Amino acid sequence: MYNELIRIGPVTIYGYGLMIAIGILIAYKVVVYRAASRQVELSHVSSLTFWSLLGGLAGAKLLFWITQMNNIIHDPSMILNFSEGFVVYGGIIGGIGVGYVYCKKKKLNFLKYLDLFVPSVALAQGCGRIGCLLAGCCHGKETDSWFGITFHESELAPNDVKLIPTQILESVLSLSIFFILMYIARRKRTNGLIAGLYLIFYSLGRFIIEFFRGDIIRGQFGTLATSQWIALAVVLITCIVFLSKAQKMKTT
């Protein structure tokens, strides 16, 4: 696994950034294709993609700063490092939050657009985790199992020891969620169902995979990692919303 894929003079193409870019591009193409079949205005799709990406990056960075507050107090220069240190859940929350504000301002059906975008979010995450594998970030714990990988020149993962490939596990999780959601989305469903299923599937999968993570920079509260607490909260809130909507449908 090498993060520096190509170096042409002063320009270096990194695997992490390249895979994220590829993931975003493919995910956007899927959104555009699905939007055309659903007679959704493409100008809103483009705008939502742009603003949600900005909101996602800001949210991912902000949540990282929150989880690293103690370290930042001792070393404030960490705030100036914008190339490393992002938390996926912060990106999800930030992207959805900005998307909600945009839809509210433009008087669009937020849940309809959210259902349109979330399968592509899972697709982009699946590609992005391959970038994590190339860079060595988000690595797993040491293992003696056959199911392990060894880094030799990573600046982020321990070198020359076999590690659980949590990046591959998360990539498989996200890509599986993408195909499942695409299959379900073929049928006419209540607005918000696809988004809710994405939040539940991803959170449950992420909760389990976190037990095998070996990087401590992601933050820890008690016996669980930050992402695990967020995963539990997301599943609980999503289930409450589902039950509330189901109850309203019964009474109407």
Which residues are CB-neighbours of 78 under 8 A, at least 6 positions away? 65, 68, 71, 72, 85
Which residues are CB-neighbours of 236 under 8 A, at least 6 positions away? none
C-alpha–C-alpha distance, residues 233 and 227, integer Å: 10
Of residues 119 and 136, the one with the higher pLDDT is 119
| 3 state DSSP class of 151 | strand
Question: Considering its fold, how many domains does the chain have in total?
Answer: 1
Longest dimension (CA), the chain: 67
Of residues 243 and 12, the one with the higher pLDDT is 243
Sign of the Cα pseudo-torsion (91, 86, 210, 223, in order): negative
pLDDT score recorded for residue 80: 72
- Does this model's pTM top 0.75? yes
pLDDT in tens, 157-190: 899 999 999 999 999 999 999 999 999 998 867 8
Alpha helix (H) ranges present in the chain? 15-37, 42-67, 69-74, 88-106, 110-135, 166-185, 193-210, 226-251
Q: What is the dihedral of CA 148, 151, 154, 159, to 10 degrees?
A: 100
C-alpha–C-alpha distance, residues 139 and 123, integer Å: 20
pLDDT in tens, 89-134: 889 999 999 999 999 999 999 999 999 999 999 999 999 999 999 9
pLDDT in tens, 217-243: 666 777 888 889 999 999 999 999 888
> Residue 132's domain spans which residues?
4-251
C-alpha–C-alpha distance, residues 62 and 249, integer Å: 38
CA 48 to chain centre: 17
Which residues are CB-neighbours of 129 under 8 A, at least 6 positions away? 138, 167, 168, 170, 171, 174
**What Cα–Cα distance (Å) separates residue 130 from each residue in 2, 29, 99, 167?**
11, 19, 26, 7
CB distance 64 to 90 below 8 Å? yes
